Structures are given as C-alpha cells and as structure tokens.
Structure 1
C-alpha cells in the first residue's frame, strides 16, 4: 500500500504545478526566435503534409513520435502564418509550449 501512496502525492504535486502554470501563463506567451531557413522549411513541410493513414493501435513510442511530429507541424504553422523570412533564416514568435516541446525532443 505504501507504494501507491506516492501517487496521491504526485497527484497533489500535479495540482500545484497547474496552479504555478496558471500564474505564469499570463506573464509569458510568445518568444521571438530565429531558425535557419532549412529547419524552417522542414517545419513548414510537416505542417503542409497530409497524413492519410488512420491511427490505429500504437505503442507508447509510436504515440510519442506522432506527438513530436504534431509539435513540429504546429511550429510550421506558426512559421507559415507569422514568420518573417530573411536571407538564411526565419524569425517567428513561438509559443513557449512549442519551444519547450522542441527542447524536450533534444533529450
């Protein structure tokens, strides 16, 4: 029973984390970033790609991979809609959640 009690604490921690997030959300929204043109073009291509195959039963790894692909596509959408293309890079305001997703993918 002691082993399961930790999940009660984890649930409480998640509640506190959500309160912290609610406090931070109005303070931080988008951050201007610069991406090399080649990376920006790949992100836009991910946004423009049509995935016709239906999602069936997935392993955890497959679900995570699909989630990362979706995050890249959303960055591509941001670049398409509000990116400013310069010679060899693009400047775009990204939501902090998108930036965090990209940083998590590095790990």
Structure 2
C-alpha cells in the first residue's frame, strides 16, 4: 500500500515549487544563446519531423523521459526557425528559460557540464 500521507506532502510541496516558478518567471527573461550550425540544424530538423499520431502504448520511465527530451529539442528548433539569427556558422536565438534549462539539465545528466 502506498503511503498516502507522503504523497499528500509531495502534492503540497509541488504547489510550493509552482509558487517559486511564478517568481522565477517574473524575474527571468529569455536566455540569448549562440549555437553551432550542426546542433541548430539538428534542433530544427527535430521540429520539422512529422511523428506518427498513433498511440505509443505504455512507456517505461526512460522512454517517457526520452520523448520529453525530444520534445524540448523540437521546441528549441521552433525558436530557431522563428527567431534565430544566423551569424556565419552559428545561430543566435533567444530561448525561454525552460528550454535553456532543459538543455542544461540534459548536458549535466550526461556529464557534459558540472552541476554547480
């Protein structure tokens, strides 16, 4: 049996996290980043890809996370497509803090940046 009191506490804490998110949103604007052409083009390709509309069925936690990461990449591709400014072999684009954070979290997860 699941410890319902623990999940009630988690639910209450998720509301605090959402309150913090409101304050973050009010204080943090878009993050301007420079991306090399290869990763920018891969992000745009993720946005332009047409995935089938069929149901995937039950997903493992890993599959769910991978699909979410692919969605985050596609949203970065959308931002590049709509507002990116190409400067030679780089694109300059303003990303929502969520997209920038999702990319940073994935880089930290695979050990490409520190978690400081």
Partner of 2:61: 60
Deviations 1:9-54 (A, max 9, x none): 2222211111111122121131100111110000001111111262
Misfit runs of 4+, over 3 Å = none
User: Is residue 74 of structure 1 aligned with residue 75 of structure 2?
Assistant: yes
- Equivalences for 1:1-107 in 2 at 5 Å? 3-52=3-52, 54-57=54-57, 58-106=59-107, 107=109
Task: Give unmatched runs, 5+ long, in structure 1.
Answer: none
For structure 2, the residue ranges without an aligned partner over 5 or more in a row are 110-116
TM-score under structure 1 length normalisation: 0.88
Number of aligned residue pairs: give it.
Answer: 106
Q: RMSD over aligned Cα, in angstroms? A: 1.7
Which digits, 9 at most, give the CA deviation of each residue in 1:44-93, with x for residues without a partner? 01111111262321222112111111110110000000000011111000
